[in-house]
Amino acid sequence: MNLLLKEIRHNPLLWLLVFVPAVFAGVSLVPERHTLLFLLSVLAIVPLAALLSHATESVAAKTGDSVGGLLNATLGNLTELVIALTALAAGEYMLVKASVAGAIVTNTLFMLGASFLIGGIKHHVQEFNRAGARLQAGLLFLATIALLIPSAVAEVDSVGSAAFTQSLSVGLSVLLIAAYGLGLVFTLKTHREEFASAEKDEGHEAPWPIGLALATLAGVTVVVALVSEIFVESVQGASAELGMTPAFVGFIVVALVGAAAEMASAFSGAWKNRLDLSVGIALGSAAQIALFVAPVLVLLSYVLGPTPMNLQFWPGAVVMMLFATMTAFLVTNSGRSAWFVGVLVIMVYLVFAMTLYMLPPRVQ
């Protein structure tokens, strides 16, 4: 417990934990102030995500490389998963899908681009391991194709058959999880030496003892779930009051909030000229959302949701995911980076964010 308090004192991000009691106080005192509750829950989720991330890494560090890698690979986006599950249980499928698509786009464009920019401000030219970037970009490309197919077929042909889209979504989910699992075997078992530099040192802070880590993991997950519930309930009212489209909130705001902790690691890696780490976090996290979180949500919607959820996205989101993946492939292909590469990638992100911000609210 002392260690946890020391960590909190040490890490300014964790001072935001004060917003956790604030959001619970808010929901019982002023349940109608949607914008206030929305902002408080956003501010509360950021430090909780940082705690979850550190706890996962600590458990991973204690359980050995393979099990640890597996843990990181399944729980690394636990915050996004919990938020999405809460929205799923509330039947807010539009928000679930927007946050999945937004997490993919934000990780591949904003997190990657800002890492290149931050690293490029300090270092003239940076190099990184292309093998890891290529694998993640390949996985992302596969996932984008899989996520694009139901929308493409349904749009183009006006099939309209909900049964077809639903069973296709389940089949694609199984394929994606299988590909993700085989990818873990590849990076953690058979070809781990190829990905060495991208993996080492990720948990650069001292790991917690296993008991504290497991307790934090369990406890914080519950708190995140409770805060997420307030967040999901307030998001629609708040977006209306703030004049933001629900598409913008789901795509941009939720994605930035959920990934705040990983961004801190990625940016610090870039600044220290360890761009392998930044690229690995950004693309790895995007691939995990696309190949693990999204299909798990589809499968869990049969248990948790009011009706089954499918993988048919808003066509604009599909276009954005596709171009985000292509951008990530193009800029990581050479294994070199400079500040302007970061600017280019962030510009693509700004194009998308601006479009979503200006979109008439009817279209989501």
Q: Which stretch binds its own copies (CB under 8 A): 44-52, 57-65, 84-92, 335-343?
A: 335-343
For the bound state, the minimum distance from the C-beta of residue 21 to its own copies, rounded and expressed in Å, comes to: 40
> Please, which of residues 217-276 interact with its own copies by CB under 8 A?
none
- What is the closest distance, in whole angstroms, from the C-beta atom of residue 236 to its own copies in the complex? 20
Residue among 163 and 206 whose Cβ is closer to its own copies: 163
CB of 294 to its own copies, least distance (A): 14
Nearest to 47 by CA among 2, 72, 24, 15: 15
Question: Can residue 94 be called a binding residue for its own copies (CB under 8 A)?
Answer: no
Nearer to its own copies, 152 or 300 (CB): 152
Tokens of 360: 């008439």
Q: Which region among 22-30, 71-79, 253-261, 351-359 touches its own copies (by CB under 8 A)?
A: 351-359
Choose between 70 and 359: whose C-beta lies nearer to its own copies.
359
Shortest spacing between CB 285 and its own copies, in angstroms: 19
CB of 228 to its own copies, least distance (A): 29
Q: Which of 11, 63, 236, 355 binds its own copies (CB under 8 A)?
A: 355
- Whether the CB-CB separation of 35 and 62 falls below 8 Å is answered with no
User: Does residue 216 contact residue 4 with C-beta atoms inside 8 Å?
Assistant: yes
What is residue 336's three-state secondary structure? strand
- Could you give the CA distance from residue 155 to residue 266 in angstroms, rounded to a whole number? 37
Residue 173 and residue 352: Cα distance in Å, rounded?
Answer: 26
**C-alpha span between 290 and 292 (Å, rounded):** 6
| Residues 301-320, interacting with its own copies (CB under 8 A) | 315-316, 319
Closest to 195 measured CA to CA, from 114, 147, 139, 141: 139
Judged by CB under 8 A, the chain residues 138 through 197 that form the site for its own copies are 138-139, 141-142, 145-146, 148-150, 152-153, 155-157, 159, 161, 164, 167-168, 171-172, 175, 178-179, 182-183, 185-186, 190-191, 194
Beta-carbon neighbour count of residue 34 at 10 Å?
A: 19
Report the nearest approach of its own copies to the CB of residue 29 (Å).
38
Helix (H) or strand (E) holding 357: helix 339-358
CA distances from 339 to 114, 127, 283, 333 (A): 9, 12, 18, 16
Tell me which residue of 75, 48, 87 sits closest to 222, measured CA to CA.
48
- Residues 211, 217, 221, CA angle at the centre, nearest 5°? 150
Q: How far apart are the C-alpha atoms of 261 and 281, rounded to whole Å?
A: 11
| Nearest residue (CB) to its own copies, 267 versus 329 | 329
β-bridge mates for residue 126, sequence order: 337
Return the residue of 18, 25, 302, 340 that touches its own copies, per CB under 8 A: 340
Q: How far apart are CA 346 and CA 318, in angstroms?
A: 19
Between residues 203 and 316, which has the closer beta carbon with respect to its own copies? 316
- Listed ranges 134-142, 233-241, 268-276, 302-310: which one lies at the site for its own copies (CB under 8 A): 134-142
By rule CB under 8 A, what count of residues binds its own copies? Answer: 65
Among 265, 301, 327, 337, interactor with its own copies by CB under 8 A: 327
Binding region for its own copies (CB under 8 A) out of 29-37, 77-85, 199-207, 322-330? 322-330
| Helix 130-157 with 162-184: angle, nearest 10 deg | 170
CA dihedral 354, 357, 363, 364 (to 10 degrees): 100
206 or 358: CB nearest its own copies: 358
Q: How many residues does the chain have?
A: 364
Residues that bind its own copies (CB under 8 A): 124-125, 130, 134-135, 137-139, 141-142, 145-146, 148-150, 152-153, 155-157, 159, 161, 164, 167-168, 171-172, 175, 178-179, 182-183, 185-186, 190-191, 194, 315-316, 319, 323, 326-327, 329-331, 333-334, 338-341, 343-344, 347-348, 350-352, 354-355, 358-360, 363
